[in-house]
Structure formats: C-alpha cells, structure tokens
Structure 1
C-alpha cells in the first residue's frame, strides 16, 4: 500500500462515510463523554474535525451549545442541513482549517473524535498546531477528549488487517506502519450487504502520525494541560499495547 499525497486530508472525504458501521455508536459515545467529563448540559463545546456533525448534532440535541469545525465543505453543508431539519438553533458549523481557529479561553469542552484530524497534517510541526488550537480555545478547567489509534498498539501489532460489521456494511481496514517515522498508512474498503462480494483492494493509505500515551501526555503538559486518563476506547480500561484505540481525557490547568 502506498501513501497518498501529503494534503490527502483536504480531498479524502464523501458523505458515504455516514454508512460506516461506527456511526451507529454516536449516542453511546456522547453518553460516555458526558459522564467522563461530568457535564451538566450548559457547557459550550468545540468539535474539531466534526465531519458531518454526528457528535455535534447529538450534543446539541441534548441541549449543549456546539460549534463544529471541518475543512470539508460538503460535511459542513450537510451538518447545517441536518441541524435545520432537527430544529437545533444551538449549533454553528464553520468550514475552515483547524489551524485557523483563533478562539481563546472560550469553550468548556474541545473534542477531537474519530482522530479529529490529529496526526493528519504534513509534518510534526504542523500536527502540533492542532494541540495549540485545543489549548488556546479551552477555558481554564475545561476538558479535552480525543480518540486516536494507540501508538503502543501500533508498535506491538502493525501491520494488520481488521474487519468490522455494521447494520449496513462490512468494512475491511488495513494498517501499515513506519516505526521510525511513527507514520501509519490507513486504507479502507467497504462492502454493502446485498452486493456481490469482490476481492478487497486497498492500493493507497492515509499517512497519519500516531502517538503513544506518553507522547500525548508530554504534548499536553507543554501546553498547560494535564492528562487525567488514557482509556482503551470508550471504556474504563487503561490504554495499552492491546488497545487499538485510545481515548485521552485532559484538563486545562
């Protein structure tokens, strides 16, 4: 599998992502975050790389004020349309690069979910700018939650292929690994139920910088934040080498 161009994150997206199996977990993921952060319902939330707004809309449906940001115009257009159809006036959706968000001490919660574009940018310096945006946007005492591929898992298990079945599709994901550069290549193939099964082909992968829990803790510390927990996905189990996904909860001091 070869790497896509370095600006792949600007070009890679379509609304077919709404049929992915993990979209079905949105409600339970929001439940988890509310409980993890002890949210009351009156907090202001910034959802970075919000996609078509699945988490933003679910938080807004529960009464939170939400600003969603994504670089993909069709996602933002779809999120705005969905908010109108749902009668949600407590949402705002902005189409821009995360690095261009200048909010300061404004939000109670910042989210980077389903990677939230962390690690997607052209090099390490650019990737760190996302963490700068996070720390700057949060109020003191505010919460940050991200879920990412776990670097410890990558070191222990990559390269690997994984299958996932949802209500509408069967998904095959492939993960290649450059251990020295800490770059994962992710490719995916979706097969809708009812279609003739074909040989899965994944010729290209998205180059993504993958972090260990130790790296995330140091990055957050350097920005006046403290990691309160690192979990194996949306669970109470500590993240480790057998946790494909890690969910990191941090608080701004």
Structure 2
C-alpha cells in the first residue's frame, strides 16, 4: 500500500476501471438509467448531476438519450477515462469535472435532478457526507429530486460473507471483509491478481453503512422531504433483505 495516500485515490484508479469495465455491461447501464428516468421523472430540458460518476457510464448514457448531464468525481483517473469515452462516442452534451462533493456549488448551476449511485455516500466521514447533502440541497431547484443509492446494511450483515473471490476479465479478485460494529464501518481488503501481466496489487475499501433512519434523518435535517425508499434497480419496495437502499428526497 502507498503510505500517506487517501485510500480512495488508490482504490478508484485506472486499475478499478480495467477490472470492472467489462463486468459493468452497457445493458446493465441502460437498465439502471431506465430506472433513473422512471423514478425521478426526468424530462427533456432537465439539467442532471451525477455525483461520484466514476468513469461516467450513467452520465454518458443520459447524454446519449439527449439529456444535458454533468458528472463529478474526486478521481483524476476515472474522470480522464470518462472524458475519453465521451470523445470516442461523440457525446457532446455531457461535462466531467474532478471535484469534491463539498465544492459542487462552484459549478454555478441549479439542477433539476441529482443522483449518487453505488455507495458514493459512506466513503467519506459522517460529517463530510452531511456537508455534501447540504450542498446538494443548495444546488437543486425547488421541487428538484435527489436520489442516493447505498448498500443495505441489514442485508449485508444478515448474509455476511467474510471472504469472497471473483474472476473478472484477466483479473482474479480475492477479498476479505469485516465489519466494525462500534464505528459502523465495513472494510474490504482486496488482492487483485493481473493474470496478463503476472502482477499483484492490494486495495482497501472502507465504507460507513447507513441505516435507513440515519440517511433519512440527515436528508430531512438538511431540508429534504423523503419521497420513497426503494430496494433495488427493479423498483421494488425496500425491505430488510433488499440488495440496495435507495432513497429519494425532494427539495421543499
């Protein structure tokens, strides 16, 4: 591991893209954007912000559908890939910026919809997440919607698996998981073996697992009205065994 470097900058690097890109298929991305369109009632002319866009797959798909979308992420590597993909696929109505969530007001726009998918919240501290949600409220238009998608703590712990492995493309992933009940953090130590280049890298992923009441409390505290809880991208209602915890809030 690299000393004194934020784990997020190591984990969310170009390596992350290389071993996940083919796993996250275009079909999967299209279905997830279908879900966003339906759940958030996205209309032509809306300005959309993808918070923690990674390598831009949802932002780009929205752009292909004719929407104006902006993606931000703290990872220079992933934003560079997103810009490369936009250029390659000739998607010109999207923008990508390297940016921390706390700085989103610097974009200078008022958005109709903001979304954050796949546990971008929980990667920072509790106080940083609260600040980010306040900033989202500030940049939304009145009546604008904010969707947060995070892992469902109850299901993750109910079906807890201490070790897992997977083969993705030319990579073997071995992961050890553990949960810290005192702090609420779920930590994954991952070894990635690159079969093509015969190399090995170690990554750490640390996320705070919010309960439904915790995330709802923060949203309401910052001014949002909770519209609904959803359990996955199929739109089904949230329950204790749901794979995801998706919360939709509306700016009053």
State TM-score, norm by structure 2. 0.83
Does the alignment pair 1:151 with 2:153?
A: yes
Report the counterpart of residue 247 of structure 1 in structure 2: 246
- How many aligned residue pairs are there? 244
Shift of the 146–155 alpha-carbon distance from structure 1 to 2, 3 Å rule, reads same
Deviates more, 1:63-72 or 1:221-230: 221-230
Q: Distance in 2 between matches of 1:203 and 1:176?
A: 16
Deviation at residue 171 of structure 1 after TM alignment:
5.1
236-245 or 124-133, larger mean C-alpha shift: 236-245
1:212 alignment partner in structure 2: 211
Q: What does residue 45 of structure 1 align with? A: 48
Displacement after TM superposition at 1:113 (Å): 1.0
Q: Structure 1, residues 15-73: CA drift from partner, whole Å, max 9, x if none? A: 23334265122111001110111112321111111111111111111111111111111
Distance change >3 Å, CA 163–CA 138, structure 1 → 2:
farther
Q: Which moved more, 1:123-132 or 1:56-65?
A: 123-132
Contact map agreement 2:164 2:174 (CA 8 A) in 1: yes
Counterpart-to-counterpart distance in 2, 1:204 and 1:166: 16
Match of 2:30 in 1: 27
Give distance in 1, aligned partners of 2:173 and 2:230.
24
- Alpha-carbon distance in structure 1 between the residues aligned to 2:171 and 2:31: 20
Task: Select the structure with the greater relative contact order (CA < 8 A; seq sep ≥ 6).
Answer: 1
Q: CA RMSD in A?
A: 2.9
The CA distance in 1 between the partners of 2:159 and 2:5, in whole Å, is 25
Distance in 1, Cα, partners of 2:24 & 2:130: 27
CA distance in 2, matches of 1:131, 1:228: 16
User: Structure 1: where are the runs of 5+ without partners?
Assistant: none
- 1:243 positional shift: 2.2
Query: What is aligned with 1:96?
Result: 99
Provide TM-score, normalisation by structure 1: 0.83
How has the CA–CA distance of structure 1 residues 230 and 174 changed in structure 2, closer, same or farther, with 3 Å as cutoff?
A: farther
Q: Residues 44, 11 of structure 1: CA spacing in aligned structure 2 closer, same or farther, 3 A cutoff?
A: same
CA contact (8 A) 1:187 1:202 kept: no
Secondary structure at 2:115's aligned position in 1? strand
